[in-house]
Amino acid sequence: MTEHVSTAPQATPARRAGDDADVIIVGAGPAGSTTAYYLANAGLDVLLLEKSRFPREKVCGDGLTPRAVKALVAMGVPVGEGDGWLHNKGLRVIGAGMRLELPWPELTSYPGYGLVRTRLDFDQELARRAGQAGARLEEGVTVTGPVLDEATGRIAGVTARPAGGTERVYRSRVVIAADGNSSRLSVSMGLRKRDDRPIGVAVRAYYTSPRHDDDYLESWLDLWDDDRLLPGYGWIFGMGDGTSNVGIGLLNTSTAFGNTDYHEMLRRWLAGMPGEWGFTEENRVGPVRGAALPMAFNRTPHYTRGLLLVGDAGGMVNPFNGEGIAYAMESGEIAARTVAQALACPSWARAEHVLHGYPRALADAYGGYYALGRAFVKAIGRPELMRFATRHAMSRPALMRFALKLLGNLTDPRGDAGDRLINAMTRLAPAR
Ligand SMILES: Cc1cc2nc3c(=O)[nH]c(=O)nc-3n(C[C@H](O)[C@H](O)[C@H](O)COP(=O)(O)OP(=O)(O)OC[C@H]3O[C@@H](n4cnc5c(N)ncnc54)[C@H](O)[C@@H]3O)c2cc1C
């Protein structure tokens, strides 16, 4: 539902009488909580509205690369093994009948380890961190639509319904859509998904397994059902709590996308696993659940009329590897820094100019890399090409170490030859 209000014209971005906050953030996933943390640290009054109550489940692989670790460390989140995390050393890749363990690259820009933790804990921890910084979190509040200023068409707040309560209006000068893949708020502001950008669908389930304390994330490049090659990719991430998170994903560049029974595909793939790993129906803990992964700027523009899009709402999952948490957190930080600068401007015209810098900052950070990712996703949508590339690369460890850096977006600005090649390709690719 869209509500309209009439507000007196105002020259400066200062807070209006009657506003509920300087900034309202819709959704307290990694994107929303990180944005809230940085805005609150900048001294702004932040209201973070979340429809569910923590702890709550979120369908995910629960795997964090060094990129996400860096974002957590920057927020002062304790990431020690005694703090509820399972550390990992790198990525084990299985494909073309081969198995390769690739340690995370040694870089100055990123730590040399990754993490695993269920989203049940992870998201709650991050929301708590935002709260410690001063953001006000309201749980069980579902945002139902934007409130638009009649005169300017700008967003002036949101309508929302607290659980069991009646709908009310929350007002602020700037609103952040951090409401995930379907981002109803963005849709009600006219921002739809782009057909020319990749999207994935993935399902996952937890299984009691002796492999639960694996210190490598495991990625399967080809999935077999006896001697039949299934479409898509798979992962096995030990959770360190007696279970493993096991899942499969498929990209929309695959011809099987949209006409695949993902649950059945997972079952068939797991049927071929060694029995002692325990990935059986009897050992499954909870249901098989799935969701979409919006990739490579799947929804744009990332700023319009007072609304900024962060994380999955702006389609920021890495198309090379399906990683979304690091990008949700990083885009949240970029958005927060932009909004803090905008709201300190002496005039609204200046503030608006600064806010329009947000999509440009995102394009600078990821535009070229995502353009390469789109080409990659198109290429691997062709099974014969994927098979050839897997066979060719898996027998060349140095090439795979380079691929790990490219697929994980893990390079130093002045790193080794591989880093410099990836950085140059990213710079040269058209950032759109
Ligand atoms: C099967 C699967 C496996 C994945 N595996 C990984 C992985 O291993 N590593 C990785 O980095 N990424 C992974 N991803 C991607 C990752 O889950 C997302 O990129 C990430 O969750 C995005 O964070 P976000 O904060 O943008 O959105 P979300 O995490 O979706 O958070 C959105 C929040 O908004 C709230 N919300 C929604 N609508 C409203 C509303 N109207 N009012 C109030 N609140 C609202 C929701 O309740 C939710 O809390 C995976 C995704 C899937 C589907």
Question: Each residue's pLDDT tens digit in the chain (432 positions)?
Answer: 677 776 655 667 777 788 899 999 999 999 999 999 999 999 999 999 999 999 999 999 999 999 999 999 999 999 999 999 999 999 999 999 999 999 999 999 999 999 999 999 999 999 999 999 999 999 999 999 999 999 999 999 999 999 999 999 999 999 999 999 999 999 999 999 999 999 999 999 999 999 999 999 999 999 988 888 888 899 999 999 999 999 999 999 888 888 889 999 999 999 999 999 999 999 999 999 999 999 999 999 999 999 999 999 999 999 999 999 999 999 999 999 999 999 999 999 999 999 999 999 999 999 999 999 999 999 888 878 888 889 889 999 999 999 999 999 999 999 999 999 999 999 999 877
Tell which residue, 299, 291, 313, has the closest CA to residue 370.
299
Other residues' Cβ atoms within 10 Å of the Cβ of residue 294: 26
> Which residues contact residue 178 at a Cβ distance below 8 angstroms, ignoring those fewer than 6 apart?
25, 26, 27, 28, 29, 31, 32, 35, 310, 311, 313, 328, 332
Tell which residue, 375, 89, 347, 346, has the closest CA to residue 253.
375
Report d(CA 200, CA 320) in Å as an integer.
11
**C-alpha distances in Å from residue 222, one per residue of 95, 200, 257, 322:** 6, 16, 16, 16
> Which residues contact residue 2 at a Cβ distance below 8 angstroms, ignoring those fewer than 6 apart?
145, 146, 147, 148, 188
Query: What's the distance, Cα to Cα, between the start and end of the chain in Å?
Result: 31
Indicate the top mutation candidate among 58, 203, 237 to test ligand 1's pocket, ranked by most ligand atoms within 8 A of CB.
Answer: 58
3-class DSSP state for residue 370? Answer: helix
Q: How does DSSP assign 43-75, residue by residue?
A: T--EEEEESS-SS----S--EE-HHHHHHHHHT
Say what the pTM is: 0.97
| CA angle, 83 then 45 then 126, to 5° | 15
Quote the tokens at residue 414.
């002045």
Distance of CA 50 to the CA centre of its chain: 17
User: What is the pairing mode between strands 199-208 and 216-220?
Assistant: unpaired
Residue of the CA atom closest to atom 51 of ligand 1: 60
Side-chain-side CA neighbours of residue 119 (13 Å): 17
Helices (H), 134-261: 184-188
Atom of ligand 1 nearest to the CA of 201: 53
**C-alpha distances in Å from residue 39, one per residue of 36, 106, 271, 321, 351:** 5, 32, 48, 29, 16
CA of 421 to the centre of ligand 1 (A): 32
Residue of the CA atom closest to atom 2 of ligand 1: 60
CA of 43 to the centre of ligand 1 (A): 27
> Which residues contact residue 363 at a Cβ distance below 8 angstroms, ignoring those fewer than 6 apart?
431, 432
CA of 396 to the centre of ligand 1 (A): 35
CA of 297 to the centre of ligand 1 (A): 15
The residues lining ligand 1, judged by C-beta closer than 6 Å to any ligand atom, are 26-32, 49-52, 58-63, 68, 142-143, 178-180, 184, 202, 204, 247, 291, 293, 311-313, 317, 322-326, 328
User: What is the pairing mode between strands 90-95 and 98-103?
Assistant: antiparallel
CA of 12 to the centre of ligand 1 (A): 34
Residue of the CA atom closest to atom 3 of ligand 1: 60
Quote the tokens at residue 289.
């659940």
> Which residues contact residue 366 at a Cβ distance below 8 angstroms, ignoring those fewer than 6 apart?
297, 316, 327, 431
